[in-house]
Amino acid sequence: MGPDPDAALMLAFQRGDDGAFRSLYERHARAMVAFCHHFLRDAARAEELAQDVFVNVYRARDRYQPSARFKTFLYRVASNLCLNELRRPERAARPAPAPEDAPPALDQLASPGPDPEDVARGRALERAVERMLAGLPEKQRAALVLCRFEGLSYEEIAQVLDATVPAVKSLIHRATVAAAAALAPFQSPAPEEALS
Amino acid sequence: MIHPTDELTALLDDALPAAQAEAVRAHLAACPACRAEQARLQGAVALLSALPPAPEPSPFFGARLEARLRAEAAAPRGLRARLAAWRWQVVLPLAGAVAAAGVALAVGLHHPRNPEDGLFAANLELLEDYDTASAVGVDEPEDVLVVAQLDRLERREGRP
């Protein structure tokens, strides 16, 4: 692992440099808002939780140790906050979005443009992904979001979720299989027969 | 033939050791079913990548966070400090209540008229005194004690 400039900033913050903390949140605010949005599919709550991430880091500054990359540490805090959010009774009771009537094929989705049909297809896909995520077990959901939306490696995800790399591999595979099943109506027909 | 279906996602993510990846690729070359499954997984990954990007943080994100951090900086840090802060709201009133109970107990135990009645009866009497005190708007433990003494003197002197 090479030198981690974020860890250096965090250590500077521990020594009382508030500007270092400002640099940290300026560097990572967008990523944290995006992660919370991808995890919860709730833009307003995502921003609040992203703020909570930095407030928690601020509070825990004395306990921070640069044993892992700062980004991993940040995603760990964010994952825990998002998982806690999912466990809130009022959110757990929230119904999943209703399915769309006519999901479009993948090649139709790929065509960009302001066509209202494209916009509607994009929304239909978003709702299908939201339903799919809502149906996943918590750890699979976290692993899928970290992998597919945040681009973390399996090793980084293992650190974030406090799991082994083989466990993460299994989580991501099962979640991707679930995604393939849930999003099948959006896919173009496969050229070969599916595995029987 | 054993299908390496559990490895197909890791292969797509380039997360397999080189030798294992090579073995899975060799299997895929000979197995149409696994190729179809891999295409299905790859399609799902592509769909997830096709989602619109997450919204940007609002223009007020930094200002709101700064405000919260200023509040954090002004707040006491750590459990011990927080407990110290709560002391004035929780511990002192609690201590006051305990002290009041102690005063009540002492008055009851040293009540001269009926020392044989025991603790319960003495406390009942004190409660009556306390009711009297409350009725005239006296609620400090010391005042309750004074009211109790006055009440006792009145009874000794035969006043109603």
ipTM: 0.82
Per-residue pLDDT for A31 more than 50?
Answer: yes
**What's the pLDDT tens digit per position in B73-111?**
887 665 555 555 555 555 556 566 667 666 666 655 555
List, for chain B, all residue ranges whose pLDDT scores fall below the cut of 50.
112-144, 146-147, 160
CA torsion sign for A10, A14, A15, A18 is positive
Q: Is A51 close to B68, i.e. CB distance below 8 A?
A: yes
Q: Which residue of B has its CA nearest to A185?
A: B44
Q: Is B61 close to A29, i.e. CB distance below 8 A?
A: yes
Q: B31-62: string of b/e by CB count within 10 Å (b at 16+)?
A: bebbbbbbbbbbbbbbbbeeeeebeebeeebe
Q: How far apart are CA B18 and CA B22, in angstroms?
A: 6
- DSSP structural state of residue B111: -
Which residue's entry shows tokens 């035969």?
B158
Of the candidates A33, A55, A129, the beta carbon closest to that of B69 is on A55
For residues A178 and B11, is the Cβ–Cβ distance under 8 A? no
Q: Of A71-85, A129-143, B107-121, B146-160, which gets the smallest average pLDDT?
A: B107-121
pTM, 2 dp: 0.70
Which residues have CB under 8 Å from B85's CB, separation 6+? B75, B76
Per-residue pLDDT for A192 more than 90?
Answer: no
How confident is residue A70, by pLDDT bands cut at 50, 70 and 90? very high
Torsion of CA A39, A67, A61, B62, to 10 degrees: -40
**What's the pLDDT tens digit per position in A161-185?**
999 999 999 999 999 999 999 999 9
Percent of chain A with pLDDT over 90: 66
Q: Is B48 close to A109, i.e. CB distance below 8 A?
A: no
A192: tokens are: 């070969």
> Beta-strand (E) ranges in A8-72?
none
Q: Which residue of B has its CA nearest to A196?
A: B33
Closest Cα of chain A to B18: distance in Å?
A: 15
The helix/strand/coil state of B60 is coil
For residues A74 and A27, is the Cβ–Cβ distance under 8 A? no
Closest Cα of chain B to A46: distance in Å?
A: 9
No. of H helices and E strands in chain B?
A: 8, 0
Per-residue pLDDT for A149 more than 90?
Answer: yes
Q: Is B10 close to A172, i.e. CB distance below 8 A?
A: yes
Per-residue pLDDT for A2 more than 90?
Answer: no
Q: How far apart are CA B70 and CA B85, in angstroms?
A: 18
Contacts of A129 in chain B (CB under 8 A): 47-48, 51
Q: Is B77 close to A59, i.e. CB distance below 8 A?
A: yes
Percent of chain A with pLDDT over 70: 83
